[in-house]
């Protein structure tokens, strides 16, 4: 049986991936939300923005809970990602308790920085108030513990058992497009039909696409 990594390899090879890094409060929900978007290839959660060495959930220090996504800019642009980001959380500091949950954008390139400035100006006009999102250059991203990755999907251990034949390791689950879509699905950010339609469009061999579709349809929630 093909593993998910073997099936999804073409998604990565055919896509010109770029990475976006941001914080929107607790990282569980944003990972599920962005994992449901077409063009997003991988999602993961972790810690960024602080000085604490090797942060963990219990020793996060001055870091912020952060989501990273790899995406195909031919399908979804960084501008679209920023619009999703600002339209789906309140970006001002009085909503949050401490640095751990602040609104943050960690840009990787000057192009990302300029797009943040442009879209923030547009969003301030849309919201009618100043945006206080912390914007800094990404220095380091530390992957969070396994229990935080694909958090909502992992609340269905019986489903994980059914998916087990597809995944050779925890790392392959974290880096899986299919798992990202399922994580968004169980949180209510997409529908069964949306996932089926999207899989049909993935640049995979026909047998791999049909294998994923059959596996999805057989899942007992």
pLDDT digits (tens, 9 = 90+) for 116-128: 999 999 999 998 9
Contact 153, 179 (CB under 8 A): yes
Has 191 been annotated as catalytic?
Answer: no
Please give the model's pTM, rounded to 2 decimal places. Answer: 0.93
Give the pLDDT of residue 131: 94
Domains plus CATH for the chain? 16-145 (3.30.1060.10), 147-218 (no CATH)
Q: Which of 26, 143, 160, 213 is catalytic?
A: 26
Give pLDDT tens digits for 174-187.
999 999 999 999 99
CA separation (Å) from 187 to 31, 113, 136?
A: 10, 30, 30
Token pair, residue 85, equals 């980001």
Provide the pLDDT for residue 65.
97
Strands (E), the chain: 18-24, 40-48, 64-71, 103-107, 134-137, 141-143
């Amino acid at each position: 049986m093909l593993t998910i990594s073997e099936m999804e390899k073409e998604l990565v090879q055919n896509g010109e991936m770029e990475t976006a890094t941001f914080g929107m409060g607790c990282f569980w929900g944003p990972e599920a939300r962005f994992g449901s978007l077409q063009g997003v290839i991988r999602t993961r959660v972790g810690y960024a923005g602080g000085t604490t060495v090797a942060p963990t959930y219990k020793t996060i220090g001055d870091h912020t809970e952060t989501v990273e996504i790899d995406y195909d800019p031919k399908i979804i642009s960084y501008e679209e990602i920023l619009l999703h980001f600002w339209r789906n959380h309140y970006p001002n500091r009085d909503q949050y308790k401490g640095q751990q949950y602040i609104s943050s954008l960690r840009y990787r390139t000057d192009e990302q920085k300029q797009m943040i400035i442009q879209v923030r100006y547009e969003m301030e006009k849309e919201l009618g108030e100043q945006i206080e999102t912390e914007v800094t250059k990404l220095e380091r991203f530390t992957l969070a513990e396994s229990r935080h990755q694909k958090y909502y999907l992992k609340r269905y251990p019986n489903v994980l058992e059914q998916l087990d034949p597809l995944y050779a390791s925890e790392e392959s689950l974290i880096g899986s497009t299919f798992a990202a879509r399922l994580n968004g699905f169980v949180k209510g950010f997409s529908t069964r039909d949306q996932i089926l339609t999207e899989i049909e469009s993935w640049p995979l061999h026909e047998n791999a696409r049909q294998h994923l579709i059959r596996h999805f349809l057989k899942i007992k929630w």
